[in-house]
Amino acid sequence: MILAAAGNDTIRNLVATAPLSRNVVARFVAGRSATDAVIATRSLVRDGMNVTLDHLGEDTTDAAQAADIVVAYQTVLAELAAAGLTEHAEVSVKLSAVGQKLDEELALANALRICDAAAQVGTTVTLDMEDHTTTDSTLGILARLRREYPQTGAVVQAYLRRTESDCRDLATVGSRVRLCKGAYAEPESVAYQDPADVDRSYVRCANVLLAGEGYPMFATHDPRLVRIIDDRARWHDRKAGQYEYQMLFGVRLAEQRRLAGAGETVRVYVPYGVQWYGYLMRRLAERPANLAFFARALAGRK
């Protein structure tokens, strides 16, 4: 229902203009501009966190729009560098935003430009993973990016049946791999449907990544999985800093601080940009408690 509302112009206008909903947006989205993103990054880094910045914008429909996204990433990378933050902040990129659905070669060329801009200021890029029809294409482009920029991060989704095998292929020296549950509605033919099966797959994949030679990045807010990762990391003799936890901006802040305080590397995924609406709706759809928080704000009680 919420995802359907995401496409409704009346609701969009209500959300965008209600003064109190701004607080809710600000909880999950760092702001509209690169400067807003850098301000949020500075504050998180001061609190001992690392950051990956996501310039919001999907489903690019022409080459000019894709080129604008590249410029947006180049701009934010330059601003991060000017602020002296690139040791602790990288960027996350969706290939669909840089033209994957139009032409894979165009997406590769655009992604190379972003990787180049990141490398020039001493930081990295991680390729977000989108729906399963793009997985092969995204892993193919990743492999080509890694020829020139081996530090480019991959993302795998535990809900896909193929992912344990992908983890085996990706757990190589220097390979940065983010493991998440997966955020898209996927068919039974390719994805586990039962949340318990997704969790079991997450743990199997985590074991493969921890046993391998790469750098695993565990993206989850799930307290049970965080406990299991902590245990498994010790079992595989991984010290803090040889893997990291990742959580979304505005989600489980106390847990982010607790992990960082315990000496773990924590990276916060920070979205920003004018196209914040679809992202916000996905966060609300994911968790009823977020929706209650949002409803209270719209009603003026928070």
Active site amino acids: 128, 178
The verdict on 56 binding ligand FAD (CB under 6 A) reads no
CB nearer ligand FAD, residue 1 or residue 289 = 289
Least distance to ligand FAD from the beta carbon of 13, Å? 25
- Structure tokens, 15: 């959300």
Binding mask 235-264 for ligand FAD (x = CB under 6 A): -----------xxx--xx------------
- Angstrom distance (rounded) from CA 182 to CA 91: 19
Per CB under 6 A, the list member of 76, 154, 171, 180 interacting with ligand FAD is 180
- Angstrom distance (rounded) from CA 110 to CA 25: 29
Using CA atoms in the order 35, 119, 67, 184, what is the torsion angle rounded to 10 degrees? -80
Please tell me whether residue 270 adopts helix, strand or coil conformation.
strand
Q: Which stretch binds ligand FAD (CB under 6 A): 22-30, 38-46, 59-67, 221-229?
A: 221-229
Single-letter amino acid code for the residue at 237: D
Least distance to ligand FAD from the beta carbon of 130, Å? 7
The verdict on 266 binding ligand FAD (CB under 6 A) reads no
- Enclosing H/E stretch for 130: none
Per CB under 6 A, the list member of 155, 160, 167, 280 interacting with ligand FAD is 155
The verdict on 269 binding ligand FAD (CB under 6 A) reads yes
CB nearer ligand FAD, residue 88 or residue 181 = 181
Which residues, numbered 79-138, are part of the site for ligand FAD (CB under 6 A)?
128-129
- Angstrom distance (rounded) from CA 84 to CA 98: 27
The verdict on 220 binding ligand FAD (CB under 6 A) reads yes
Q: Of 40, 55, 127, 56, whose CA–CA distance to 88 is shortest? A: 40
181 CA to centre of own chain: 12
The verdict on 183 binding ligand FAD (CB under 6 A) reads yes
CB nearer ligand FAD, residue 269 or residue 294 = 269
Could you give the C-alpha distances from 85 to 39, 41, 109, in angstroms and in order?
10, 8, 26
CB nearer ligand FAD, residue 63 or residue 230 = 230
Complete DSSP assignment for 44-106: HHHTT-EEEEEE------SHHHHHHHHHHHHHHHHHHHHTT-TTTEEEEE-GGGGTTTT-HHH
Please tell me whether residue 197 adopts helix, strand or coil conformation.
helix
Least distance to ligand FAD from the beta carbon of 259, Å? 13
The verdict on 222 binding ligand FAD (CB under 6 A) reads yes
Least distance to ligand FAD from the beta carbon of 102, Å? 20
- Residues found near ligand FAD in the complex (CB under 6 A): 128-129, 155, 157, 180-184, 219-223, 246-248, 251-252, 269, 286-287, 290
